[in-house]
Amino acid sequence: MSKSKLEYIWLDGYKPTQSLRSKTKIVDDFSGKLEDAPMWSFDGSSTEQAPGGASDCLLKPVAVYPDPARADGWLVMTEVLTSDEKPHPSNGRAMIDDPDDDFWFGFEQEYFLWDTETDKPLGFPANGYPAPQGPYYCSVGAKNAFGREIVDEHLDLCLEAGLNVEGINAEVAAGQWEFQIFAKGAASAGDQIWVARYLLERTAEKYGVSINWHCKPLGELDWNGSGMHANFSNTLTRTAKSKATIEKVCEAFRPVVKEHIAVYGADNDKRLTGKHETASIHDFSYGVSDRGASIRIPVYTVSHGWSGYLEDRRPNSAADPYKVAARIIKTVKPVKA
């Protein structure tokens, strides 16, 4: 009889930004199948999810991946339920209305590798600042690329775990990086982003580096913030063959700007300033190939007869992909050609 290590991963109840939590369960002869991952529980009073007098919360497995860093290990993404097995208020996954996986999402997850000793991004000197941004994007060489060993190790782990990572690159600011994940189905896209975030945190631990998910960690300085651009499509956009239909989808976002911003990550007003490749948080706009718009209509969509996908550029790096996807679906789903 073999022993398997199941790492149960969940989101806590901290506000305005939830954090990852995990703990290990040892089971006999685990098959690797989702249906064989048992429900588990945890102390919600320690995670802002329950009072001390009734602290039990439940962990319902929703996705299982091989754990590439552990022999006989598995990563079990879970959603949090209350003790009566109903979705916990902190459970963003339960908000998704996409039972047939009609919505496809590609999230572009940006982040900063953060030096815990200097309290600055990797590549920043202890005193002062590096050269202005410009040479760091997709850079090569020790002068401009910082932390590549962490990023490459993370990529390998994600691929070994079976996550559908479609690419990585160094971003505009020193110490800033990005990975992209695509999935057919909103819940699966969210699961994979969260597991990839977990693997990144765990990888960086080995190097004594932390991950800064804040959308504007360098404040008002002239450096880009971090986003989690949401590329999305459904049958309507993928088969539109119509500029009017694509624009109709874009216009559906205009009356619900506040509802979207509410779940697009804390402190987004610091990032969505109209500068650094963002639209102002106070405006709504869309345009072809326009990275300064709220929603970008990709050249791909135009060149494929106005059929394809759209990119909402407003979600920030710390946003919950479940909640982002749920809100986009709620806006787009009622739109008809």
Q: pTM of the entire structure?
A: 0.97
Q: For 107-128, b where at least 16 C-beta lie within 10 A, e where not — what string?
A: bbbbbbbbbeeeebbbbbeeee
* Beta sheet of 40-43, edge-to-edge order: 20-28, 3-11, 73-81, 56-66, 40-43
- CA nearest neighbour of 278 among 121, 110, 104, 123: 110
State whether residue 134 is helix, strand or coil.
coil
Q: CA torsion 239→240→246→248, rounded to 10°? A: -120
Q: How far is CA 185 from the centre of its chain?
A: 14
Give residue 289's identity as a one-letter amino acid code. Answer: S
Residue found under tokens 């700007």: 257
Would you write out the chain's pLDDT as a tens digit for each of its 337 residues? 799 999 999 999 999 999 999 999 999 999 999 999 999 999 999 999 999 888 999 999 999 999 999 999 999 999 999 999 999 999 999 999 999 999 999 999 999 999 999 999 999 998 989 999 899 999 999 999 999 999 999 999 999 999 999 999 999 999 999 999 999 999 999 999 999 999 999 999 999 999 999 999 998 778 899 999 999 999 999 999 999 999 999 999 999 999 999 999 999 999 999 887 899 999 999 999 999 999 999 999 999 999 999 999 999 999 999 999 999 999 999 999 8
* Domains contained in the chain, CATH given: 3-91 (3.10.20.70), 104-332 (3.30.590.10)
Q: What is the DSSP string of 154-213?
A: HHHHHHHTT--EEEEEE-SSTTEEEEEEEEESHHHHHHHHHHHHHHHHHHHHHTTEEEE-
Give residue 206's identity as a one-letter amino acid code. Answer: K
Angle (nearest 5°) at CA 22 between 1 and 209: 115
